Every structure is written in C-alpha cells, then in structure tokens.
Structure 1
Amino acid sequence: MLRRPLLRPVFSALLVASIAPSALAAEPLRLKHLYRCEDALDTQRQTFCLTARGVSDGQLQVVLDGKALPASAVRRGDGLRITLESKSYQSGPLWLKQGNQVSNPVWLSMAGSHVVAARPGEVAENMDGLNTYVDLVSVVIEEDAQGLDTAKALARKYGAEVVGAIAPLNTYQLRLPAKDLVQRDAMVLRLGSELSVDAVVIEESSAEEQEAQAGASQEDQLGEEEWAANRFVDAVNYYQRRIPSKRSPITTKPVRIGLIERNVDFDAPDFRDYLGAAERQGHTPHTRLYSRDADKPDGHGSTVAGILAARWNDGGNTGFLRGLDGAGPGFEVIVDRNSDAGITANIAASVNLVEDGVRVLNWSWGIHRIGAKNIHGDEVDSLVRSGVAMSGYEELLEEFFLWLRREHPDVVVVNSAGNGASFSGADDYRLPSSFVTEQLFVVGGHQRSEHKDVAVDDPAYVTRRSSSNVDTRVDITAAACVRASTAKENQQGSVHCGTSYATPLVAGVVAALMSINPDLHPDQLRMLLRRSAMTIGEEFDFEPTDADDLTAPILPSERGFDLNDKDIGRSARLDMQKALDLTVRSLNNKQ
C-alpha cells in the first residue's frame, strides 16, 4: 500500500496582535483569534496572527506551555511578533500575561495543516441559493503523486496560488483567478479532469450545527432527569470512588480530547478558572480547557465544551470530565476549528489535533445533501449542501479516515447523527455519519418521556427526540437537551437541544474509558458502550429502520449470547456508569 508522506514543517511563529487602546486596559485579557497567516507553505517558519482584547501598553509576557518566551523571541511594534526555533518548542497551550491578568489559553499546533477562509467579498450565492467560495478550492492529490510539487504545478498551469495545505491527506488549497462562479466552475471541471487530482473540494456556507433552542414547554420540563437517563452523576460518583480505592486503586493515564468548535466564553462562571495555567488548590491533576474566547456564554462551542469541562453548580452547565477532578488523570480539552473555512477547516484542525496527541475527537457537526428526505418523506431543509460540494467533502473525509486507520488506529471520532429527522447511514443523505469505520461512533438524541412512574432502566423512561436522525448506522443515543452556560452565577441557562449535545456525553465517557484502560481499541470501546447500554423504544425486531427506530438493534453477542435477553432488538441508550464499570473489569483481562 502506498503511503503518502507526512510533511512536518520546521516551526517558527509570528503572532500579529491587535492591541486594544490603553483606555480599554480594564477589560479582561482575552485571546480572540490565533490562526496561521502569511505563507502557509513555509517549512522553515510558520506565521500565526493573534487578536486579543484587554491588552495595555505595559510589559506583556507570551507564555507557551507554561514557559514565558524569552525577550529575544518577542517583538512589539504595530503588533506582536514571536519567532520560535523548531527544535526548542512543541505544540502546546499559549496565553498572554500582563500584570496580574492572564488570558485564556489557546492551543498552538505545530503540526502545520491550515486552510484559508474566504472573506465577505469572496463568496457568492449559487443556483441552489447557498453561499459558496468563489476563488478558493482544495484539491485532493492522488496517492502516488508528490502532493506539494503537484499542487504547485497545477497552480502554475491554471494561474492559481497554493495558499493552504493538509499535507498528511495530500490535500492543498488553491486560490483561483476566478471572478465569478462561472469562471470557478469551469476551472473546477478542468482541475477535476487532471490525472493527478482525486477530487476537488468547494466550500458552501458554514460547517457547524446550529441547534434550535427548545420551546418554553420543554424548557419547563428540563431537569435532572435528562442526564439521569444516562446515569451521568452515577458515573462521576463511581469514578471518584472506584479509581482511588484503597483496596485496589487504578492507575489512570491522561487523555486529550479535541472539540471541533469555534470558541468558549471565558467570562462565564463555568469557565472562568481555566485562565492561564488553570492552577487549582486541591485538584492536581485536573481538567484543563484551551480555546479562543467567545463573546456570549450560550454559544454552540461553549455549550458543547461545557458538557465536558464546565464548573459544577455555578453557571448553568455541568462538565462530566470536570467532575472527575482529583480522581482522574487530568484531561485536556482542546477547542479548535483551524479557521472559518467550513468542512475543510474542520478536517485540517482534526489532523493537527490527532498529530498533537488527541485520542478522542468530538464532531458535533454534519451536513445533508440537497434533496435528502426525512423519515416522513419531506425534504430536509437545514444544513444542506449541493451534490457537487457533497462529492468533494465525501472524498476528503474518506482520505481522513483512511489516514486515521493507517497512522492513528487508536483514535476515535464521535459524531452527531444530525437533527433532520432523516437517515444517518446513507451517503446520499448525510455526512460524515454515513461512513462505516471502526473509528467513527455516531450518536443520536433522546429526551425524557411523559412516563413519570418508570425506572431509569425502563425503555419507556426516554423517547426518541423527533428531530434526531435515525437508522442502524447510529451506534448509541444520549440525552439531547442541556442548559447552556450563563453570564452570571446562580442563573438558569437557556435550553439547547440536539444531537450536538448528546455527542460530548459519549465523547466524555470514551475519554474516561481510555483513561482507565489506554490499550482499548475503537472496536472494543464501541463494544463496551453497546454492552453496557440501556434500551430505548418499544420495537423488538430487526426490520429496516422506520420512524420509531433510532440505533442499530442490540445483538445477542452484546448480551452474553443470550437469545432470550429482553434487550435484544431494542435500540441502545448510553449508560455512563455501567460503561465505566465494564472497563474496570476489562483490566482483569490484561493480567
């Protein structure tokens, strides 16, 4: 099998900071953006642009992975410029320190993959009514070709410029000399016919799941019972008691989790103590969170990250991994999207994070093809893309999962099933959940049912959330509704619902399982989730998916080969506590 080269650029960095006026010095010190700029193909030095608020004219320290950079490496003029020798530095959290203030830490990756986002004047509306990039496309180069050399040759032939790269996937971004979509489409057709080109990727709209908030009646009903359906608190209690047990303590290993999200609001009480090195008395080791800063506490990124890392009982959300502090190994939660360049940027960020040691990727995003039908036969009208765009995305995602299987077989991607009341397993309908690979876990959403007098483990305790995508490609379901973070303490956050918020519940548990037994492979992790699962739904059959089914039916092999087990044929519902318990028991098999 031919392996494409992994290009690991020699690193030096340049950060250009937008410095707020001294009149705004009282503002909190926050990092808003950190992204590659200038020549993204320079293998001798990488350039990063940094935007910050709350910076004054006094002495400013730039801290990378806990160590202040020497004065010789930092220059301040119109902006902030930092040059690092590649042999002396590695990827790590970067933050600013000025006086008594420290900023939020942002993950600075030296892995080198980066794509450029289009500016407002560089997008246009296509025939499907979707915004699309006019002059930026990405080409996936064939495996037997030298990626960078081929991309440069194509750029010369078409009068284009190579402006971005995901070298491990042999993918390079070109800026075409196109002034409108007619010119772009003509060049895309010609590029796609090149023998050295596997696929051309065009970008349409944004890549994120924009979940609708729940209605008022659902908000009134939202309470402890939503996460109780997955035994959230029971799992935290089990981990806190069992891991440090005096009789048979378990040695845990730290795990890095990557969230492909834009930012997190560090002014919110849920995240305020993650600033800088996030030192906390009495909690060593403890969870750490790295992200660009957001302006509002209830954004998509803050809510997804909060399910893993939010402080308890302060500002709306509650973090599962944060609840393991003291007993756990110290989880690192890295929030990054690379740039605003859509799906391609999501993949670039994912490649960087995996190369930086992330073992669990949380993808709370996905897209549907235009014309996709939901389970009622109506067209899906949210998060849709044209057939041309979907074809390019499919090729890019395929390259990613092939690379993941070849180079990083221990990494797991946890993906939301989607909220179109459609089918997750057909590539004509949905990406990326339709991919069938051991390393991709797909999560559907459920909510508390109207049956108030049933036990938690009763299938009737929950019901499928009507908008959740379905079919046998869905591995497991988890609670879809959560309260977002708030701007002040002791406030009740707004209700957000969707598979985006079920996904980090599964990602958090998978990270916890890895911390207990780091030798578990993706297929073993999936089996642990399925064997420990409670059930949902009333159907006892293996018929094709209909509107009442949600996940792949539980098999006899997932219930000790007992053909008469009551769970056989039902859909799977996450049981966080039992998954941890089964993993602890799996340690006996290692001896």
Structure 2
Amino acid sequence: MRKLQAGVFWLVMALSCVSINAAAAAPLRITQLQRCGDLLETRQLTFCLQIAGLQQTPLQIQYNGEPLPSDQIRQGDGQLRLQIDAATSKSGPLWIEQRGHASNPVWLSLGSSHVLAADQQAVASNQDGLTTYLDLVSVIIEESHDAPTEARRLAERYDAEVVGAIPPLNLYQLRLPVDNLEQRDAAVLRIGNEVGVDAVVIEESGAEGSVEQEQDAANPPMDPREEWSSNRFLDALNFYQRRLKKPSDHIETHPVRIGVIERDVDFDTPDFADYLGDCRSKASRTCVYGRDAATADGHGTTVTGVLAAGWGNGGSNGFLRGLDEVGPGFDVIVDRGSDAGITANVATSVNLVEDGARVLNWSWGMHRIGARDIHGDPVDSLLRSGIAMSGYEELLEEFFLWLRREHPDVVVVNSAGNGASFSSRDDYRLPSSFITDQLFVVGGHQRSSKDVDLDDPRYATRRQASNSDMRVDITAAACTAGSSPLREQDGPVHCGTSYATPLVAGTIAAMLSINPELQPDQLRMLLRRSAMTIGGESDFEPMEADDLTAPILPSERGNNLQDPDIGHSARLDMYKALELAVESLKHAR
C-alpha cells in the first residue's frame, strides 16, 4: 500500500489496457499523450498514453517533478489513462521511470482546447480527390451568442453530438449523423445558415496530417551546415555566449517557452538522447518535450533539431542548445494534439499560449486548389478545396483576434511555403496571407555559387521552391542536416521553408531572453533593421520571381535614402539581431 501511495504502479505485460513493446531491450518511450474521455470536461481531465518498451516491473509516472499517485492512474480502452484535477494541478512535463531508465518527457497541458481526429472509417475522398472528414465538423459561434449554449442547441437540433471545442475561439466540434458526403454537405449548408453560426470548418486531412517540405528537394547543398553561415549562425552563438558572460555587463536573461506545432521527435537519435527524464534538473539548459517518433528523418525531428539538437553528434546542431552555458533555460514543446489537421494545430497553439509560450513555430500551411506559381503553373503542394480554405480562414482570423486581445506579446513564426507561389494572396495560401504584427512569415534561400563577401546580396539566392512576395518578412537558410540514428553519422539533407522558420523562431526566442519587454512590432523592426540583403533591387512594383521578401525601406535604414540596402529583400542576420536586442535594453520604455 505504501508503494502505491508513493506513486509506484505495477503493470503486467498481459494487460490489454497498455500498448507494450514486447522486446525487452526496446527503449522506454511515450509515443502518444492526448486528452481522451469527455473533452468538454474542465475539472477532472483524462489523458491517454501509449508507451513502448515497458517491462513487467514497477514503474513510476513523474508529473511536474513529483510521482503521480496511483489512484490517478487507470486502465481501459487499450491505454494507460491518467486522471488529473485541473483545479489543483498545472500544465507541465510528464515522463515515466522504470528499472533505472527514463522515457522522453512530454508536455501535459491542462488547456481546454481539444478536438477529435477522424479514424480511417470516418474519412472520404471528395470531388477534388482530397481526403476530408465525413462526420466531424467544427462551428464557430457568433460572439453575440453564449457559445456553449448555442453549440448544445445546434447539436440537439441536428441530432449531433458536441465532441470537442476551442472555447477561447468560440469553436465547437460536432459529430453529425451522416453516412456520406452528400448528407454531410447538406447538413453543413443548413448549419451555416443558422443565425448564431459565424462559420463552419471542414477538415481536409487524413489520419496522418500533411507537413510542409519540398516535395522534390532538387539541387541540395554540398554541405548543409555551411548554409547557416549565410545567417551568421555561429557569430550569433559566439556573441550570446561571450557578451552575456561578461560580469561587468549585468545582462540578466529570462526563460522563454517555444511551442513547435509538430507531431513528434525521435528521442533515440544522438541529437535528442540526453533530453530523457527530468530535463529541467539544470535550470540553464534547453529542454525538449514531445512524443517519440519512430524514425529519425521525420519533419518534427528536423524542425526541432534546428532549435534544440545536441552538438557534436553528427546530425544537426540546435541554436538554442548552443546557448546552454549562459542561457536562461529554453522550453521547446513539440505538440499538435490529436493530429486533427489544421483545427488541431490551432487548438494546440491556444493551449500552449495559455501555458506561457511566447513564440509559436508554425512550419506548415496550405494552398487553395487552383493556385498558380510564379511561372503560371498549378501548385501541387498541400492543396485544400475552396470550402475548406474558407473555414480555415475564419478559424485563423478568430485565433489572431484572440491573440491580439488576450496575448499581444506572443509571436507566431510561419513558413512561407514551397509552392514557388505568392504567399500573400488569401485565395492562394494560409496562414501566411494574414497581415498582423504577431505573424512573421519566413522564406527560404540557399548559398549561391558566387565568390563574394557574406554581406553581399549575391551571397545567397532564393530557394526555387520558396514562396515569395511582399508578405514575406525575412528569409533564412532553407536546407539543413537532419538527425541520424547513429552517432557521428550525417543525417539526410532536408530543404524547405519549414526549416528556415525555426532559425527565425530561435533568433526571436533568444532576443526575448535578452529583453522580454520587446513586442511583436519591435521584434519585426529589429529583425529587418539588422537584416542583410539578398537578390536584386526592387522597383516596388508587383513582385517578380527574384523578389523574395518585402523590400527593405528607408525607415529600416535610419531614413538614409542613399543606403545601398534599400529595395533589396531581407536576409536574416542572427548576430546583428541579438546585438540590437542588447542595445534595446538601453532604450527600455
């Protein structure tokens, strides 16, 4: 009894309630952590875990650094179920310990925003050939109505069931009593005409949601690590380590939490192997929380690696991890909830912002069917139908309105996309078309063949697949070395604006660690003031194929009309951005 009260919970391999890897030597890993049961419950919350590598010995579940009492652990539905009292608990890391081994830590959020993903039997192919949810749709309730009451009324009227919600956005997910797309579309049309309904969101994705990377990574660089030199990656590390170490400067750094909206990370790779267990045992180190991935070359592993991969392992080198000796301790939380497409991405983002994230990394996006690239050819990357895009646009608008109203200091860093298209047209691509101080859009470049100085505009060139135009704020290196399953072995090269985005997100996080008072408009100003240039000079007319970002303005160069940078596109300078963040401390309001 004493062991049970201390939080030790005995599991037997034969129990059907837990997913167990039969191989005794398999590492202990949490592969799934999601809200389950009644997603609308706000006090007694249920979470379901899937675990690989469990053995027939005692284990302990650690939650926020303390053993979880055994009376909060349940079995059922083929999973390990945890019962958490939201009134007496807070969001935080959770991991499992068994026989001297620790699992990967995951972030358990007590936020109220969760939606269900459709299973294989509840999706269908629409007339555009896209996979779409059949019986699960989401409704955004008008602000003039009491959202929970209106959602229940709609469910009763249409013989539906409320199964999920993003309460801060007045969004409620309904399960409709339909058997085919004709019935669903008829119900959606009727629901959309209700006075209390602002919009209906139809999800177009399968069980495995799409990720944004180049479909055909043509022309990869010879050495992907050299790509980061175009953004002064190592200069920025050196500046942060040396400048902030000086005792005479008295620059106090502040912890920053970053939310990475991705599915999982491979903790078996050398890049992430030392994040297991109680990562926060040392206050100044970077921590990664996330579900474990099956392979090393996944999208989430590569994106997270740009931020937090360990150094000297042969794979990637994470920027924030390189700041550990003098940094404040960065939290990198990798999560996308139930994998229910764009709606789940937004739900997870809401939860992470409420859990204190100052920066969100969105290495994802989608194009509307019919979008054309800069050459006039159809875009074939991450397509969605017009009806789905209309719902996503309403959902994202609600998110950014909520963000501006409730969390005006949060920054969302979004990839421009890899369709060689235009990023700003709302009939072409989301989320990058939104214009708000809190959304930063990142394009991709690569090292050119020119033998010129680093600060020469010809040093880097636009990555051919990168979307471009006035809505792109800044460009960063698009190609990176991925993680490898073996130490001292190079991983595969990955290219795309997905991997340029965390370079900018990491830079912003480091800037905020220096001066947490910086607001989104100030961060954008400092990034563009510090930027190097890329490409030819713009004539400020409609964008051409070589114009990657909005042109640098005189106001971003001290109002000097003769500055040679004016009119060029902006290329991330990580070192100069950190330098300006330090200087901003002298001008604090």
| TM exceeding 0.5 | yes
How far 1:208 moved relative to its partner? 2.3
How far 1:590 moved relative to its partner? 1.9
3-state SS of 1:298 partner: coil
Q: Distance in 1 between matches of 2:183 and 2:79?
A: 37
Q: Distance in 2 between matches of 1:548 and 1:21?
A: 53
3-state SS of 1:459 partner: coil
Q: Distance in 2 between matches of 1:555 and 1:382?
A: 32
Residue 183 in structure 1 maps to residue 173 in structure 2? no
Contact 1:104 1:275 in 2 (8 A): yes
Contact 1:20 1:56 in 2 (8 A): no
Residue 371 to residue 584, structure 1, CA distance change in 2 (3 Å): same
What residue in structure 2 maps to residue 273 of structure 1?
Answer: 274
What residue in structure 1 maps to residue 148 of structure 2?
Answer: 148
Q: What amino acid sits opposite 2:170 in the alignment?
A: N
What residue in structure 2 maps to residue 411 of structure 1?
Answer: 410
How far 1:149 moved relative to its partner? 1.0
Residue 505 to residue 188, structure 1, CA distance change in 2 (3 Å): same
What residue in structure 2 maps to residue 208 of structure 1?
Answer: 211
Q: What amino acid sits opposite 2:145 in the alignment?
A: A
Residue 178 to residue 22, structure 1, CA distance change in 2 (3 Å): closer
Contact 2:45 2:85 in 1 (8 A): no
Q: Deviations over 1:377-408 (max 9, x none)?
A: 11111111100000000000000000000000
3-state SS of 2:231 partner: coil
How far 1:207 moved relative to its partner? 4.3
Q: Distance in 2 between matches of 1:122 and 1:331?
A: 39
Out of 192, 217, 220, the position equivalent to 1:218 is 220
Q: What amino acid sits opposite 2:364 in the alignment?
A: W
Identity value in percent: 64
How far 1:254 moved relative to its partner? 0.2
How far 1:519 moved relative to its partner? 0.3
What residue in structure 2 maps to residue 257 of structure 1?
Answer: 258
Q: Deviations over 1:92-149 (max 9, x none)?
A: 0111111211110111100111000000011111010101011000000001111111
Q: What amino acid sits opposite 2:370 in the alignment?
A: G
Residue 44 to residue 539, structure 1, CA distance change in 2 (3 Å): same
What residue in structure 2 maps to residue 370 of structure 1?
Answer: 369
Contact 2:22 2:53 in 1 (8 A): no
How far 1:318 moved relative to its partner? 0.8
TM-score, structure 1 as length reference? 0.94
What residue in structure 2 maps to residue 51 of structure 1?
Answer: 50
Q: Distance in 2 between matches of 1:434 and 1:142?
A: 23
Q: Distance in 1 between matches of 2:82 and 2:134?
A: 33
Q: What amino acid sits opposite 1:69 in the alignment?
A: L
Q: Distance in 2 between matches of 1:429 and 1:188?
A: 24
Residue 22 to residue 137, structure 1, CA distance change in 2 (3 Å): closer
Contact 1:530 1:558 in 2 (8 A): yes
Out of 550, 573, 576, the position equivalent to 2:574 is 576
Residue 210 to residue 240, structure 1, CA distance change in 2 (3 Å): same
What residue in structure 2 maps to residue 447 of structure 1?
Answer: 446
Q: What amino acid sits opposite 2:448 in the alignment?
A: S
Q: Distance in 2 between matches of 1:384 and 1:521?
A: 33
Q: Distance in 1 between matches of 2:79 and 2:495?
A: 41
What residue in structure 1 maps to residue 380 of structure 2?
Answer: 381
3-state SS of 1:391 partner: helix
- For structure 1, which segment, 99-108 or 283-292, has the greater mean C-alpha deviation from structure 2 after superposition? 283-292
How far 1:213 moved relative to its partner? 5.6
Q: Distance in 1 between matches of 2:75 and 2:368?
A: 48
Out of 555, 558, 561, the position equivalent to 1:560 is 558
Q: What amino acid sits opposite 1:571 in the alignment?
A: S
- For structure 1, which segment, 37-46 or 287-296, has the greater mean C-alpha deviation from structure 2 after superposition? 37-46
**Cα RMSD between the aligned structures?**
1.6
3-state SS of 2:198 partner: strand
Contact 2:20 2:52 in 1 (8 A): no
For 1:322-401, list aligned pairs within 5 A: 322-401=321-400
Q: Deviations over 1:355-381 (max 9, x none)?
A: 000000000000000001111011111
Contact 1:19 1:55 in 2 (8 A): no
Q: Distance in 1 between matches of 2:178 and 2:187?
A: 8
Q: Distance in 2 between matches of 1:162 and 1:75?
A: 25
Contact 1:359 1:410 in 2 (8 A): yes
Q: Deviations over 1:257-298 (max 9, x none)?
A: 000000000000000000011267xx6410000000001111
Q: Deviations over 1:518-567 (max 9, x none)?
A: 00000000000000000000124211101110100000010010000000
Q: Distance in 2 between matches of 1:374 and 1:189?
A: 32
What residue in structure 2 maps to residue 519 of structure 1?
Answer: 517
Q: Distance in 1 between matches of 2:19 and 2:125?
A: 35
How far 1:326 moved relative to its partner? 1.4
What residue in structure 2 maps to residue 84 of structure 1?
Answer: 84
For 1:411-560, list aligned pairs within 5 A: 411-451=410-450, 453-560=451-558
How far 1:79 moved relative to its partner? 4.8
What residue in structure 1 maps to residue 28 of structure 2?
Answer: 29
Q: Distance in 2 between matches of 1:456 and 1:231?
A: 9
Q: Distance in 1 between matches of 2:50 and 2:22?
A: 17
How far 1:17 moved relative to its partner? 9.0
Q: Distance in 2 between matches of 1:535 and 1:94?
A: 44
Contact 1:207 1:367 in 2 (8 A): no
Q: Distance in 2 between matches of 1:237 and 1:103?
A: 33
TM-score, structure 2 as length reference? 0.95
Contact 2:220 2:495 in 1 (8 A): no
Q: Distance in 1 between matches of 2:301 and 2:193?
A: 43
What residue in structure 2 maps to residue 6 of structure 1?
Answer: none
What residue in structure 1 maps to residue 247 of structure 2?
Answer: 246
How far 1:234 moved relative to its partner? 0.6
How far 1:225 moved relative to its partner? 2.6
Q: What amino acid sits opposite 1:505 in the alignment?
A: L
3-state SS of 2:40 partner: coil
Q: Deviations over 1:481-512 (max 9, x none)?
A: 00100000111111100000000000000000
3-state SS of 2:58 partner: coil
Q: Deviations over 1:16-69 (max 9, x none)?
A: 995355842321100000111111112232221110011122211111111111
What residue in structure 1 maps to residue 170 of structure 2?
Answer: 170
Q: Distance in 2 between matches of 1:585 and 1:378?
A: 46
Structure 2 regions of 5+ residues with no counterpart?
Answer: 1-10
Residue 17 to residue 479, structure 1, CA distance change in 2 (3 Å): farther
What residue in structure 1 maps to residue 4 of structure 2?
Answer: none
Contact 2:155 2:161 in 1 (8 A): yes
Contact 1:213 1:495 in 2 (8 A): no
Q: Distance in 2 between matches of 1:353 and 1:252?
A: 22
Contact 1:212 1:496 in 2 (8 A): no
3-state SS of 1:512 partner: helix
Q: Distance in 2 between matches of 1:63 and 1:125?
A: 43
Residue 96 in structure 1 maps to residue 96 in structure 2? yes
3-state SS of 1:504 partner: helix
Q: Distance in 2 between matches of 1:549 and 1:543?
A: 10
Q: What amino acid sits opposite 1:579 in the alignment?
A: A
Q: Distance in 1 between matches of 2:34 and 2:21?
A: 25
How far 1:223 moved relative to its partner? 3.8
3-state SS of 1:121 partner: helix
Q: Distance in 1 between matches of 2:494 and 2:336?
A: 21
Residue 95 to residue 18, structure 1, CA distance change in 2 (3 Å): farther
Q: Distance in 2 between matches of 1:52 and 1:367?
A: 32
Q: What amino acid sits opposite 1:93 in the alignment?
A: P
3-state SS of 2:153 partner: helix
Contact 1:370 1:387 in 2 (8 A): yes
3-state SS of 1:312 partner: coil
Q: Distance in 2 between matches of 1:23 and 1:121?
A: 28
Structure 1 regions of 5+ residues with no counterpart?
Answer: 1-14
Q: Distance in 1 between matches of 2:194 and 2:422?
A: 34
For this pair of structures, how many residues does the alignment match?
572
Q: Distance in 1 between matches of 2:17 and 2:551?
A: 54
